[in-house]
């Protein structure tokens, strides 16, 4: 029943008209990659997602997975769709050609790919997204024999990967995990412990699964600095006994590697995405990266997943919007307050009503702003690999800054937008038949995954702002101030540039306040963090809208560009003003929170 078209024209606009994506990755090893190839990829993946993934999405929700005797079986339709993705190479866009991947830039593989995949079938999309995360950690930090053995099949999708962090008593606070790793003489380890909330921890989509497991090896310090990262396969390669896997075959020995799944959570949504309790019982694992140095690696993967999770908010918000819009064009209730529009029909369609337009535009305009920021961030991630420090350093600074904002703000907006779109559809929105209620349930996990949005806000306010003597923020403020300055005297830009300028000034003042007060009282920073993150998100989306408006002002008269200008106006008049209230809340400080007696909650 649901409709969805991949927003190809939107990406074309962002890639080629707003950001000059191809130019911006020149000299970064993507020599064969040009605008035509990018367009082909976008259309090809959009088509695959629509034709292969979208049709199984509702089935995944209704049928879901089956957990029995420690095994999880997925719907046959999911296995078929996943196999088609392997065969056509769509799961490996991010991986290096040497491992059989496409090696395309991040702004496609982590942005466009993630958005389309999530819109079409979020429950399926997280499986390859996790595998790619494991692939990246492994290929940048792993022993060569492990890379050679595991990377190509992770890249193609033949092998699935997971990340195992959380334990029953330790989620946000990883310093207190109890999973142990005991070293063996051959250089491998034996891992024992229980992990929970492991997405695709067990399933029958692939013959084998490799887990990246956080565990504590003997001799390490307390807390997170004593954590190491281990690669633990569900089935061991044959002849692994040498301690390594160099040159050995992909035959599997029949026994498990002591890795068992003892449960699968019943969840509100994502019914076709397993969430497992995983037990490691003396399981063979290999160290990845330095001993007691697992956390930075896990953060490397986590940061990628945080971007991907943010884009999940966008992906579900986009398909929810498209369905609410289709509904509002068909549904006829009441008349335009200023006169009958369709006299031959018993009522006008609901798109004539200001409040329906308000809801749809909030959805559309936030989606388009988020997509722009996501594309820019994708480009910056690619630029982090530049040999030129003048490219790499600001890119790294901005990615550090944007990651928690994208994760938190995009998923907050994603949940709000799915709710708004359900509201446009009234009672139908609440009924399973019309699809949006699934998006509303599925998207909700994105505010929790990869560190709750509260944790993201603390990462932003307590770490990313002050990191390296405030360098991250300076790398944003320089180009942003320059942009505002350049447009100050262009009259047509005034309606976008002025509120942006005000917002940036406000952001600077609030940042100074948070830092100054936070030095004496860390509760001040923590109390304002969530509102600060949302304020910051609005300023960044304001920057994106001003930037897009600038491009479109030169192309007025064509409906696409006129509509973008109308979107920019809506953003600054109807969404952006929430910053005023956020500032007031931040300024009120932690007193009302911390003075409240704990026993009186």
User: Residue count at the site for its own copies (CB under 8 A)?
Assistant: 96
Q: Give the active site residue among 115, 158, 305, 450.
A: 450
Contact (Cβ atoms closer than 8 angstroms) between residue 358 and residue 574 = yes
User: Cβ-count burial of 366 within 10 angstroms (0-12 exposed, 13-18 middle, 19+ buried)?
Assistant: buried
Among 445, 460, 480, 552, binds its own copies (CB under 8 A): 445
Q: Which residue has the tokens 């908010």?
A: 313
**Residue 302 or residue 422: which is nearer to its own copies going by CB?**
422
Contact (Cβ atoms closer than 8 angstroms) between residue 455 and residue 172 = yes
Which residues have CB under 8 Å from 394's CB, separation 6+? Answer: 475
Q: How far is the CB of 27 from its own copies (least distance, A)?
A: 38
- Measured over the CA atoms of residue 307, residue 313, residue 319 and residue 324, the dihedral's sign is negative
Q: Length of the chain in residues, anyone?
A: 601
**Residue 238 or residue 448: which is nearer to its own copies going by CB?**
448
Helix (H) or strand (E) holding 262: strand 259-264
433 binds its own copies (CB under 8 A): yes
Which residues in the 545-584 window bind its own copies by CB under 8 A? 559-560, 562-563, 566-567, 569-570, 573-574, 577-582, 584
Among 35, 39, 448, 477, binds its own copies (CB under 8 A): 448
Among 444, 464, 501, 534, binds its own copies (CB under 8 A): 444
Binding region for its own copies (CB under 8 A) out of 27-35, 245-253, 368-376, 449-457: 449-457
Among 3, 40, 47, 268, binds its own copies (CB under 8 A): 268
Which residues in the 174-213 window bind its own copies by CB under 8 A? 176, 196-197
Which residues have CB under 8 Å from 582's CB, separation 6+? Answer: 531, 532, 534, 535, 538
**Residue 219 or residue 354: which is nearer to its own copies going by CB?**
354
450 is catalytic: yes
**Using H for helix, E for strand and C for coil, what is the string for 204-216?**
CCCCEEEEEEEEE
User: Cβ-count burial of 95 within 10 angstroms (0-12 exposed, 13-18 middle, 19+ buried)?
Assistant: buried
DSSP-derived letter for residue 28 is: T
Q: How far is the CB of 177 from its own copies (least distance, A)?
A: 10
Instruction: Establish how many alpha carbons lie within 13 A of residue 364's alpha carbon, considering only the half-sphere containing its beta carbon.
Output: 21
Among 9, 88, 97, 169, binds its own copies (CB under 8 A): 169
**What's the angle, vertex CA 380, arms to CA 375 and CA 386, rounded to 5?**
145
**Residue 185 or residue 433: which is nearer to its own copies going by CB?**
433
CA distance 38 to 12: 9
Which residues in the 319-348 window bind its own copies by CB under 8 A? 325, 328, 332-334, 337-338, 346-347
- Measured over the CA atoms of residue 192, residue 194, residue 198 and residue 202, the dihedral's sign is positive
CA distance 559 to 546: 18
Q: How far is the CB of 196 from its own copies (least distance, A)?
A: 8
Binding region for its own copies (CB under 8 A) out of 11-19, 157-165, 264-272, 476-484: 264-272
Which residues in the 9-38 window bind its own copies by CB under 8 A? none
Binding region for its own copies (CB under 8 A) out of 75-83, 94-102, 279-287, 448-456: 448-456
Chain Cα centroid distance, residue 103: 20
Contact (Cβ atoms closer than 8 angstroms) between residue 547 and residue 500 = no
**Residue 14 or residue 458: which is nearer to its own copies going by CB?**
458
Q: How far is the CB of 10 from its own copies (least distance, A)?
A: 12
**Residue 101 or residue 429: which is nearer to its own copies going by CB?**
429
**Residue 166 or residue 508: which is nearer to its own copies going by CB?**
166
DSSP-derived letter for residue 416 is: H
Binding region for its own copies (CB under 8 A) out of 125-133, 209-217, 359-367, 401-409: 359-367
426 binds its own copies (CB under 8 A): yes
96 binds its own copies (CB under 8 A): no
Tokens of 494: 């005034």
**What's the angle, vertex CA 224, arms to CA 211 and CA 527, rounded to 5?**
110
**Residue 33 or residue 532: which is nearer to its own copies going by CB?**
532
90 binds its own copies (CB under 8 A): no
Residues annotated as catalytic (active site), given as ranges: 450
């Amino acid at each position: 029943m649901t409709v969805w078209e991949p927003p190809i024209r939107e990406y074309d606009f962002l890639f080629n008209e707003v950001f000059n994506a191809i130019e911006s990755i020149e000299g970064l090893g993507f020599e064969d990659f040009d605008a035509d190839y990018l367009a082909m990829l976008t259309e090809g993946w959009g088509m695959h997602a629509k034709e292969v993934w979208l049709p199984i999405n509702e089935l995944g929700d209704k049928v879901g997975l089956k957990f029995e005797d420690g095994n999880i079986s997925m719907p046959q339709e999911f296995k078929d769709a996943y196999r088609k993705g392997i065969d056509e190479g769509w799961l490996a866009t991010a991986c290096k050609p040497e491992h059989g991947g496409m090696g395309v830039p991040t702004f496609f593989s982590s942005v466009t790919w993630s958005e389309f995949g999530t819109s079409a079938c979020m429950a399926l999309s997280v499986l390859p997204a996790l595998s790619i995360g494991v692939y990246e950690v492994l290929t940048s930090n792993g022993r060569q024999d492990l890379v050679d053995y595991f990377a190509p099949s992770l890249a193609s999708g033949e092998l699935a990967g997971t990340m195992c962090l959380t334990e029953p008593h330790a989620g946000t606070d990883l310093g207190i995990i109890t999973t142990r790793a005991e070293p063996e003489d051959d250089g491998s380890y034996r891992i024992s412990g229980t992990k929970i909330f492991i997405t695709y921890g067990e399933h029958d989509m692939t013959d084998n699964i490799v887990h990246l497991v956080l565990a504590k090896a003997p001799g390490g310090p307390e807390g997170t600095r004593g954590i190491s990262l281990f690669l633990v396969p569900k089935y061991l390669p044959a002849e692994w006994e040498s301690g390594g896997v160099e040159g050995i075959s992909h035959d599997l020995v029949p026994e498990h590697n002591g890795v068992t799944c003892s449960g699968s959570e019943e969840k509100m949504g994502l019914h076709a995405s397993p969430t497992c309790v995983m037990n490691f019982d003396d399981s063979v694992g290999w160290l990845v990266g330095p001993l007691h140095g697992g956390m930075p690696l896990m953060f490397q993967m986590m940061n990628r997943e945080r971007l991907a999770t943010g884009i999940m908010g966008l992906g579900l918000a986009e398909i929810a919007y498209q369905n609410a819009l289709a509904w509002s064009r068909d549904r006829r209730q009441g008349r335009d307050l200023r006169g009958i529009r369709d006299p031959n029909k018993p009522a006008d369609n609901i798109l004539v009503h200001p409040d329906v337009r308000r809801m749809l535009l909030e959805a559309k305009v936030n989606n388009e702003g988020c997509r722009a920021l996501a594309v820019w961030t994708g480009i910056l991630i690619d630029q982090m690999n530049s040999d030129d420090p003048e490219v790499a350093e600001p890119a790294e600074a901005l990615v550090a800054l944007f990651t928690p904002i994208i994760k938190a703000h995009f998923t907050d907006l994603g949940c709000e937008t799915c709710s708004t779109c359900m509201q446009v559809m009234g009672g139908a929105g609440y009924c399973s038949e019309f699809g949006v209620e699934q998006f509303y349930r599925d998207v909700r996990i994105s505010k929790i995954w990869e560190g709750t949005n509260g944790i993201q806000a603390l990462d932003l306010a307590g770490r990313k702002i002050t990191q390296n003597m405030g360098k991250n923020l300076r790398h944003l403020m320089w180009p942003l101030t320059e942009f505002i300055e350049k447009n100050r005297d262009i009259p047509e830009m005034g309606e976008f540039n002025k509120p942006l300028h005000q917002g940036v000034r406000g952001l600077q003042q609030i940042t100074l306040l948070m830092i100054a007060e936070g030095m004496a009282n860390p509760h001040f920073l923590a109390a304002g963090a969530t509102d600060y993150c949302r304020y910051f998100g609005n300023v960044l989306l304001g920057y994106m809208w001003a930037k897009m408006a600038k491009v479109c002002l030169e192309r007025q008269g064509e409906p696409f560009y006129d509509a973008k200008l109308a979107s920019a106006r809506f953003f600054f008049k109807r969404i952006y003003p929430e910053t005023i209230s956020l500032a007031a809340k931040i300024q009120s400080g932690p007193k009302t929170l911390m003075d409240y007696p704990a026993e009186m909650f």
